[in-house]
Structure 1
Amino acid sequence: MKIYIVGSGGVGGYFGGLLAKAGNDVTFVARGKHYEQIRAHGLKIKSVLGNFVIKPASVIDDISKINQPDLIFFSVKTYDSEKIAKELTRVITKETIIISFQNGVNNDFTIKKFIKSDNIYPGVVYVISAKTQPGTIEQTGGLRSLIFGDRNHPPSEKLKNIEKLFKESGINATLSDDISRDIWKKFMLIVAFSGITAICRSSIGKVLSDPDTKSIYEKCVQEAIKVAKAFNINVPDDAFDDIMKKSLNTVPNSKSSLLLDIENNRKNEIESLNGMIVKLAKEKSIDVPINKTIYCAIKLLS
């Protein structure tokens, strides 16, 4: 299976590295200095679960160089989804499977606006990883999980084969029977984790160790749960407790990708995070003051 990692940053670089390490046919799509470093020195993975280098690494610097892909691991920033989806229309085949492993709740729908295919699926990522310098991905914490599935049909054989491939590569992969539920379970966590750490300019440990910021964090989660229920998402009864447990068990010095983007003066994903909660809440006439405050503040600071 020819796998292309479209978006070789913290998520794509890390999971692509695991897939390549296991001997799969993996090609990374990268740009600029990141591309140059991977091409010259390989892709370096620094992880609490073990460091390794993919060298030589198959890497290209342009979507147009993709050739007969079987699987596209789609992990670009959400604000680039439309642009990259348009470019992919020229290189994919009718059989190419595209799985979106991105932040947000509707990325597969965005891709489908430009690529008319039944082989586009949403996914969920649980990992704390980032591109710390060109050619290097650093992962902290023990999580390295992928969840994916079909919104409308039971798991197919082709998706079961991909799940098997992921598992054989050391990835904790799950083929979901309710991917919309699982997307929202992650999203309800990430809007609080991203939004509160970003607005406080602090790690998750500092945020949750202070009673006041912890209270705001909890309210942010509760607002997201209310929005999810309004859209008939199958929110588990223990969703709030589960989200808080995951948050409290996160490595204390962890920072969200939203905060890292802000600290490094990069374009960020606030529109698809707290901005999306605000947008969806408005459709259902739901008041989400915490998320709205975060969204407005980060938007002005960006």
Structure 2
Amino acid sequence: MMKILFVGLGGVGGYYGGKTAKAWEGGKEHEVLFLARGEHLRAIRENGLHVTAVDEEFVARPFLASDDPREFGTVDLAVFAVKGYDLKKAALQAAPAIGADTLVLPLLNGVNSPDILREVLPPCRMLNGCVYISTRIDAPGKVRQTGGNRKMFFGPVSGAAEGLRPVEELFRKSGIDASLVENVNEVVWTKFIFMAPFAGVTSLFSRTFGEVLAGEDSQPMLEGMMREIRALSELKGVGLPADIVELSLAKGVAFPPDTKSSMQLDCEKGRRTEIETFLGFVVREGERLGTDVSLTRGVYDALRMRTDHPCGCPQDTEEKKP
């Protein structure tokens, strides 16, 4: 039996946590636990978590849902599915449930989630991962998947992956398209080199994917930012394909031209954004390692200064500007 804790029951955590809880309802084989709060927690406790996907709809009832991690005891697997700006706070809250043998799996947009988690969690077994899904909270206790192929990739930050096959099997038996990979850092950076530039450039110009790719000013900026991240990945020891920039641009072309990035949507709605996760990290690490990140720095600075703009991005005040 495994005790699996999902930290953060927003769109991503709600979908994957919901699938896992539904598969193992009752706790006879595995106990699925939700760390949530507020109205969302109350709704889950009273009526379960309602998940609406593109091909199914179901109600998931976890073994236990609470805002107090001490109620869970020490868990075997902790899945963090929060926004980058909430990761440190979520880790501090979940820390009482983390032990030396706990597997910790962040499913975030950034590439440095394990480093952030190590700062605040007790010693544990660190993994990393990413998912390809679009989701949102419709109302307290209700989560909707709107797009994406829903694939999950995960693996150890260091060491062999083979010992994690039982986790892969657990996810797959939950109906999740999960793949255990040896080179998880490459997989996470492959997503990041696509997402971070698109997030920054679509937000800066207030343009869709198609408009950015067609823009004489925005397309070269987008491609240049990808090349900066490619150079940074090399300095970080992450081996990406030689044609990763071309592959990432082609991935953007394959999206519907009216697609907006999640950060752009957050900007437009006046919500807090993941600017530090996407751009701040590149700026700080690039300058620390001595590689040119001037394009990313320019977009980062411009978005941070746009606080009085109608589409200005609310800033992540927990991070310091370098």
Structure 2 residue 14 is matched with structure 1 residue 20: no
Between 1:163-172 and 1:63-72, the stretch displaced more is 63-72
Taking only the aligned residue pairs, the percentage that are identical comes to 33
Asked if 1 retains the 8 angstrom alpha-carbon contact of 2:51 and 2:143, the reply is yes
TM-score by length of 1: 0.88
Q: Secondary structure at the match of 2:56?
A: coil
Q: Secondary structure at the match of 1:117?
A: coil
- Write out aligned runs for 1:93-172 (5 A): 93-157=99-163, 159-172=164-177
Structure 1 residues without counterparts, runs of 5 or longer? none
Asked if 1 retains the 8 angstrom alpha-carbon contact of 2:8 and 2:82, the reply is yes
Amino acid at match of 1:148: F
| Other-structure match for 2:239 | 234
| Other-structure match for 1:296 | 301
C-alpha spacing 1:152/1:74, structure 2 compared with 1 (3 Å): same
Deviation at 1:209, TM superposition (A): 5.4
TM-score by length of 2: 0.83
Deviation at 1:22, TM superposition (A): 2.1
CA distance in 1, matches of 2:237, 2:137: 36
C-alpha spacing 1:196/1:66, structure 2 compared with 1 (3 Å): farther
CA distance in 2, matches of 1:294, 1:125: 26
Structure 2 residues without counterparts, runs of 5 or longer? 26-30, 308-313, 315-322
CA distance in 2, matches of 1:86, 1:216: 37
Deviation at 1:102, TM superposition (A): 1.2
1:194-238 Cα distance to aligned partner (Å, 9 max, x none):
222322334435544556534432222222112212323201123
Deviation at 1:65, TM superposition (A): 3.1
Between 1:19-28 and 1:167-176, the stretch displaced more is 19-28
Residue 267 of structure 2, aligned match among 262, 270, 288: 262
Asked if 2 retains the 8 angstrom alpha-carbon contact of 1:140 and 1:251, the reply is no
Q: Secondary structure at the match of 1:227?
A: helix
Deviation at 1:163, TM superposition (A): 0.9
RMSD: 2.4
Amino acid at match of 2:107: F
Residue 198 of structure 1, aligned match among 179, 182, 203: 203
Asked if 2 retains the 8 angstrom alpha-carbon contact of 1:141 and 1:251, the reply is no
Number of aligned residue pairs: 301
| Other-structure match for 1:42 | 48
Amino acid at match of 1:108: P
Between 1:241-250 and 1:48-57, the stretch displaced more is 48-57
Deviation at 1:114, TM superposition (A): 2.6
Q: Secondary structure at the match of 1:90?
A: helix
Between 1:99-108 and 1:230-239, the stretch displaced more is 230-239
Asked if 2 retains the 8 angstrom alpha-carbon contact of 1:6 and 1:29, the reply is yes
Residue 283 of structure 1, aligned match among 281, 288, 291: 288
